[in-house]
């Protein structure tokens, strides 16, 4: 996934700026850099990874500012938090982003995104049956990837030789 087109990125920045103004919070260069970094990444990122990326790009930002800004971005619905098992929470952009779900390998922690439109039909049917308005959903499937390159894939037990 690439970063958003400039026009959409300008909309994202405007949404965040308006959110900060409504909350009487300052719009700082650090907060802007964190927003831009989240939207520039093509993957799910945890707060510490984001902090390290920012520091590697010579951004003078504290770890606390990263955590606090991520919370603000969650509140204004510009990012989504995922908790994949016992791992640290991961974040991904939410603006102008297609609904998708996740497969998580228990061996290598690799994350695979997928989209199946049939899930939308199931979601609508269940919501209709229970008289429920679904605002969003999250589906995470855990298992063992079958990739040859899975670095932690358990070795097949050798079958006994006759």
CATH of the domain at 142: 3.30.1490.190
Count up the domains in the chain and report the number.
2
Same domain, 29 and 89: yes
Domain extent for 113: 99-154
pTM: 0.69
Q: For residue 91, count CB atoms less than 10 angstroms from its CB and return exposed for 0-12, middle for 13-18, buried for 19 or more.
A: buried
pLDDT at site 162: 53
pLDDT tens across 139-162, in order? 878 889 888 888 877 665 444 555
Taking the C-alpha atoms of residue 16 and residue 69, their distance in angstroms, rounded to an integer, is 10
Ordered strands of the 101-105 beta sheet: 111-114, 101-105, 140-143
Do residues 63 and 8 share a domain? yes
Task: Let me know whether 64 and 117 are in one domain.
Answer: no
Q: Are 61 and 91 in a shared domain?
A: yes
CA–CA distance, 126 with 110 (Å, rounded to integer): 30
Say if 16 falls within a structural domain: yes
Residue 13 shares a structural domain with residue 90? yes
Residues 90-127: tens digit of each pLDDT: 888 887 666 778 888 888 878 787 788 888 889 899 99
Query: What torsion do the CA atoms of 147, 149, 154, 160 make, to the nearest 10 degrees?
Result: 90
Instruction: Decide if 110 is inside a domain.
Output: yes
Same domain, 14 and 44: yes
pLDDT tens column, 1-26: 456 778 889 999 999 999 999 999 99
Is 66 domain-assigned?
yes
Q: Is 10 helix (H, G, I), strand (E, B) or coil?
A: helix
Is residue 160, in this structure, part of any structural domain at all? no
């Amino acid at each position: 996934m690439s970063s958003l087109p400039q026009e959409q990125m300008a909309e994202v920045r405007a949404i965040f700026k308006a959110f900060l103004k409504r909350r009487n919070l300052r719009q700082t260069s650090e907060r802007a850099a964190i927003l831009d970094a989240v939207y520039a990444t093509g993957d799910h990122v945890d707060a510490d990874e984001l902090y390290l990326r920012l520091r590697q790009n010579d951004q003078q930002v504290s770890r606390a500012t990263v955590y606090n800004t991520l919370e603000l971005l969650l509140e204004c619905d510009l990012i989504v938090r995922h908790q994949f098992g016992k791992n640290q929470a991961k974040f991904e952009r939410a603006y102008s982003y297609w609904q998708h779900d996740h497969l998580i390998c228990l061996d290598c922690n690799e994350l695979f995104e997928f989209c199946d439109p049939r899930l939308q039909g199931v979601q609508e049917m269940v919501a209709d049956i229970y008289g429920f308005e679904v605002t969003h959903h999250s589906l995470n499937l855990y298992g063992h990837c079958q990739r040859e390159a899975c670095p932690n894939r358990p070795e097949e037990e050798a079958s006994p030789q006759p």
